[in-house]
Amino acid sequence: GAVVSQHPSRVICKSGTSVKIECRSLDFQATTMFWYRQFPKQSLMLMATSNEGSKATYEQGVEKDKFLINHASLTLSTLTVTSAHPEDSSFYICSARNTASSNQPQHFGDGTRLSIL
Amino acid sequence: EDQVTQSPEALRLQEGESSSLNCSYTVSGLRGLFWYRQDPGKGPEFLFTLYSAGEEKEKERLKATLTKKESFLHITAPKPEDSATYLCAVQQGAQKLVFGQGTRLTINP
């Protein structure tokens, strides 16, 4: 079964709305989670690394004030797309790794399809 | 800069027709090469991790192999349910993954 849960799976909203996406590790603790963005027929691009109890690390070109990340517990990270515009429409995917065990792969959520009208 | 290149971009096979997908990489100090399967509208599903040249792993009809420059995902006697996009990624630093563009595999019945 799924080990990483992402919610909601789909969001359609008006331009200017802020949207929050949740990512939960279901049966393990994750001090680090990752947020990716994927455009149609393209690969995953890492946006930011979410660190429990500290600030997220953003990749070059990703606006930290636009994409707010909070990692308040060892099983939950949230991504908030603030004042979303049509160009923010995309497929957002999170991942987490069981940090209690070495050599564990990243497990991914099922993604959130964000459509801004 | 770490890079991952997958080929072909798309591949159509008949059911039962074996083939291989390629993942070429350049990375300073490989810490892990990962294969994932992604179905449309879903997140990637973990398949394999390879750590050193010569390593091989198998799961059902899939076998992944690794050399110092590339990895292959061999699919033997595929079935229509094997149709998906297969993603290759290398680990950069402690945890970050760098993904290739993927290979869209279609298996016709």
pLDDT at A40 over 90: no
The pLDDT score that the predictor gives to residue A98 is: 84
Q: Among A100-104, B12-16, B22-26, whose mean pLDDT is lowest?
A: A100-104
Tens digits of residue pLDDT in A47-74 = 999 988 889 999 999 999 999 999 989 9
In this prediction, residues A85-111 reach a mean pLDDT of: 90
How many interchain CB pairs under 8 A, A with B?
52
- In the block, tokens 């517990």 appear at A73
Interface probe with A: pick from B23, B42, B51, B86, most Cβ of A within 10 Å: B42
Subunit contact A111:B43, Cβ cutoff 8 A: yes
Cβ atoms within 10 Å, residue B106: 13
- Percent of chain B predicted with pLDDT > 70: 100
Contact between B19 and B11 under an 8 Å Cβ cutoff? The reply is yes
Say yes or no for a CB contact (<8 Å) between A34 and B97: yes
Asked whether the beta carbons of residue B44 and residue A6 sit closer than 8 angstroms, the reply is no
Would the CB atoms of B95 and A32 count as touching at under 8 Å?
yes
pLDDT higher than threshold 90 for residue B108: yes
User: Nearest Cα to A90, choosing from A112, A60, A59?
Assistant: A112
pLDDT for position B12: 98
- Residues from chain B that touch A46, judged by Cβ atoms under 8 A, are 96-98
Predicted pLDDT at B29:
81
Q: What pLDDT was estimated at residue A59?
A: 94
Contact B87, A44 (CB under 8 A): yes
pLDDT bin (cut points 50, 70, 90) of residue A100 is confident
Write the DSSP assignment of chain A as a string of letters. --SEEEE-SEEEE-TT--EEEEEEESSS--SEEEEEEE-TT--EEEEEEEETTS--EEPTT--TTTEEEEEEETTEEEEEETT--GGG-EEEEEEE--TTSTTPPPEE---EEEEE-
Residues in a beta bridge with A45: A37
Spatial CA neighbour of A103 closest among B107, B53, B58, B48 = B48
Could you tell me if A78 and A6 are in contact, meaning their C-beta atoms sit under 8 angstroms apart? no
A49 → chain B, closest CA residue: B96
Whether residue B100 is predicted with pLDDT greater than 70 in this model: the reply is yes
Q: B99 vs A93: CB contact, 8 Å cut-off?
A: no
Res A1: pLDDT = 59
Looking at the DSSP bridge assignments, the partners of residue B58 are B63
Q: What tens digit of pLDDT does each residue of B47-61 get?
A: 999 999 999 999 999
N-term to C-term CA, chain A: 34
Q: Taking 70 as the threshold, does the pLDDT of residue A38 lie above it?
A: yes
pLDDT-derived band at B81 (thresholds 50, 70, 90) equals very high
Which two structure tokens, joined as six digits, stand for B88?
A: 């290759």
In this structure, are residues B87 and B44 in contact, taking their beta carbons and an 8 Å threshold? yes
Q: State the CB neighbour count (10 A cutoff) for residue A100.
A: 11
Distance from CA of B2 to the nearest CA of A (A): 14
